[in-house]
Amino acid sequence: MDTEMELEAYSELTPIQKFFFGRSVFITGATGLVGKVLVEKLLRCCPGIGKLYLLVRPKKGKTAEERIDALFKIELFSVLKKVFPKFQTKVRLVDGDLQKDRLGISDEDFEEIRANVSIAFHSAASVQFKDPLRLAVQSNMIATKMLVDLCHQLPHIAAAVHVSTSYIRREPDGYVLERVPVCKVPPKKILDAMEWMDENCINALTDYLLEGKLTTYLVTKALAEKIVEEERGDLPTAIVRPCNISPTYKDPFPGWVDSIQGLSGLLLAGAKGVLRTLPTVKGLKINVVPVDLVANTLIASAWHVATERPPYVYVVNCVLDYERLPVADEDILGVALKKRDEYPLVSIYRYPDFKIYYSYVAYKIHSIIDEWIPAIFLDFFLYIFTGKVILTKVYRKVAFLYGIFYKLGRVPWICKRENYLTLEKRLTGKDTEIFFLNLDDLNWMEYLDNCLKQGRKFIAHEDPSNIPYAKKKAKVWWLVTTTLKWCLILYFFYYLFCQFFLNNSHVKERMYTISP
């Protein structure tokens, strides 16, 4: 700050903006849902921030440069481009790999990072619930350890923030505490075991670790938290645990999302007519948190641990007040059914209609009749003509995911929020607006309306201008579906009538004929 104008501009910044002023930030997982929103938020709302070093690896035939170019073309960055057209000058691509020593960073890049970076965010992870244990360990545990090791080599490091999940551990009383969980096996033993165990041994270890955890993702995320706690030393560290991440609440605009995980995937599957039925528990509340709130929590957590320097890992359950959460069957699924005619899709599989069941048996029966049988029938012809099957794979994945969610959701997961509320109370002045953490006034009806409307655009990739055409098409699908359904019902009763009444009459007629 060499001029009086720069000093005056700096004096008008908020405490969090002043903290990030001139600081360079290292981020993993920048191409993921949380990472994208975090990058956009830092560039747009932290004027004077140094460089953002984004660790990106080649993937699916695309180089790291191509992935970053594609990232900045998405609409999430449209507001940023208007207020800061040259924002890419603040971004530095770092080619690397989370599973390699020093994250696979070259000597040249490492020296630059070492000289400049003072904040690190680790949001990269494998969220594939069905990953084999070895792969989940590599993605979620080894990568975390490598990140912590890297931070210890940065002389200017002020804070490190690790992204986890609120489904790490539920206590017997139903609460999720803001502390690192106790693990059945120390992380070091797991990492050592991966070096010498064969697949049979790993399968046995997986069965042992999965007890009560349901997926390798949850197991390895819990162990990753333990790694952070054991390896951090005196490094100011925070762990942020979001629950089911949903579309943005308002920042940079309402309803943005590009992932089909969680609530967005549920709404999209219903809108396409793929999802026909769901199991739930009466009165069950869904733990959802807007992704922009998660980004704000990450930023506020880094500022908090750097300025307050707590002597322990600062764990933050990034969730909303449980009492204010929406009820699954009434507030979310019920609203989605009401809104299906307002924002229909052009590309639908069947007319969108689904039923909620409180009985798991009834749900399975409906699923077999209304989902699996049509899927198998259509995939049979699809395989004959193309050699591919699609729908049965989709329903297999849906069944696996909702099997997990159903088991997790049969009992409430109520997260303690003391540390989260401490963060919220520390925000003052404009920080409460820019990096908002209080969503007590969230209007769920309006929010879900934005989720459906914007999900149509950002996930289904359908232009808002074709909604009138989609409505006409939906009416045709409704007419076809209703006609076919009644034809099948009438045929069923006709079949029963023929079997029981006409056959019986024929038998009696024969009896009368042969009687002496």
Highest average pLDDT, of 110-119, 185-194, 471-480, comes from 110-119
Asked if the structure places residue 11 within a domain, the reply is: yes
Asked if the structure places residue 373 within a domain, the reply is: no
Residues 145 and 225 both lie in one domain: yes
SS percent in the chain: helix, strand, coil, step 5: 55, 10, 35
In the predicted model, is pLDDT for residue 435 greater than 80?
yes
- DSSP character for 101? G
Beta strands in 65-106 (DSSP E): 91-95
Residues 419 and 482 both lie in one domain: no
Residues 418 and 509 both lie in one domain: no
Which of 222, 72, 249 has the alpha carbon at shortest distance from 162?
222
pLDDT band at 138 (very low <50, low <70, confident <90, very high): confident
Question: Identity (one letter) of the amino acid at 363?
Answer: Y
Asked if the structure places residue 249 within a domain, the reply is: yes
Measured at the alpha carbon of residue 136, what is the angle toward residues 150 and 318, in degrees to the nearest 5?
Answer: 70
Instruction: Compute, in degrees rounded to 10, the torsion defined by CA atoms 220, 222, 225, 229.
Output: -110
- Tokens 């691509």 sit on residue: 93
In the predicted model, is pLDDT for residue 275 greater than 90?
no
Kindly state the tokens that stand for 6: 């720069």
Q: How far, in whole angstroms, is CA 38 from its chain's centroid?
A: 14
Q: Which domain holds residue 474?
A: 466-515
The model's pTM: 0.89
Kindly state the tokens that stand for 160: 């490190």
The CA distance from 91 to 53, in Å, is 6
pLDDT band at 119 (very low <50, low <70, confident <90, very high): very high
**Model pLDDT for residues 27-71, shown as the tens digit of each residue:** 999 988 999 999 999 999 998 899 999 998 877 778 878 888 888
Asked if the structure places residue 353 within a domain, the reply is: no
Averaged over 3-25, what is the pLDDT? Answer: 81
Name the least confident of 48-52, 298-302, 399-403.
Answer: 399-403
- DSSP character for 250? S
**Model pLDDT for residues 105-116, shown as the tens digit of each residue:** 999 999 999 999
Question: Identity (one letter) of the amino acid at 484?
Answer: L
Which of 337, 371, 372 has the alpha carbon at shortest distance from 356?
337
Task: Report the CATH number that the domain containing residue 153 is assigned in CATH.
Answer: 3.40.50.720
pLDDT, position 227: 93
Higher-pLDDT residue of 97 and 229 is 229
**DSSP β-bridge partners for residue 384:** none
Mean pLDDT of the chain: 85
In the predicted model, is pLDDT for residue 26 greater than 90?
yes
Beta strands in 371-513 (DSSP E): 414-415
Asked if the structure places residue 395 within a domain, the reply is: no
Residues 131 and 170 both lie in one domain: yes
Asked if the structure places residue 273 within a domain, the reply is: no
**453, exposed or middle or buried, with CB in 10 Å at 0-12, 13-18, 19+?**
middle
Rg (CA), the chain: 27
Asked if the structure places residue 365 within a domain, the reply is: no
**DSSP β-bridge partners for residue 277:** 355
pLDDT, position 505: 57
In the chain, the percentage of residues whose pLDDT exceeds 90 is 32
Averaged over 340-369, what is the pLDDT? Answer: 84
pLDDT, position 352: 84
pLDDT, position 184: 80
The CA distance from 241 to 293, in Å, is 12
Residues 39 and 4 both lie in one domain: yes
**Model pLDDT for residues 312-327, shown as the tens digit of each residue:** 999 999 998 888 887 7
Residues 427 and 471 both lie in one domain: no
In the predicted model, is pLDDT for residue 515 greater than 50?
no
**Number of structural domains found in the chain:** 2
Residues 417 and 496 both lie in one domain: no
pLDDT, position 17: 94
- DSSP character for 85? T
Q: How far, in whole angstroms, is CA 505 from its chain's centroid?
A: 61
SS3 327: strand
DSSP letters, 455-488, are HHHHTS---GGGHHHHHHHHHHHHHHHHHHHHHH
Residues 74 and 116 both lie in one domain: yes
Last residue of a domain, one of 442, 457, 492: 442
Residues 46 and 109 both lie in one domain: yes
Residues 436 and 497 both lie in one domain: no
Asked if the structure places residue 387 within a domain, the reply is: no
Residues 511 and 429 both lie in one domain: no
pLDDT, position 52: 95
Residues 133 and 196 both lie in one domain: yes
In the predicted model, is pLDDT for residue 6 greater than 60?
no
Averaged over 473-480, what is the pLDDT? Answer: 86
Instruction: Compute, in degrees rounded to 10, the torsion defined by CA atoms 429, 165, 454, 348.
Output: -170
N- to C-terminal Cα separation, the chain:
118
**CA-to-CA dists, residue 485 to 60, 110, 152, 192, 204, angstroms:** 42, 64, 65, 58, 48
Is the separation of the CB atoms in 439 and 417 below 8 Å?
A: no
In the predicted model, is pLDDT for residue 330 greater than 60?
yes
pLDDT band at 193 (very low <50, low <70, confident <90, very high): confident
Highest average pLDDT, of 98-112, 143-157, 441-455, comes from 143-157
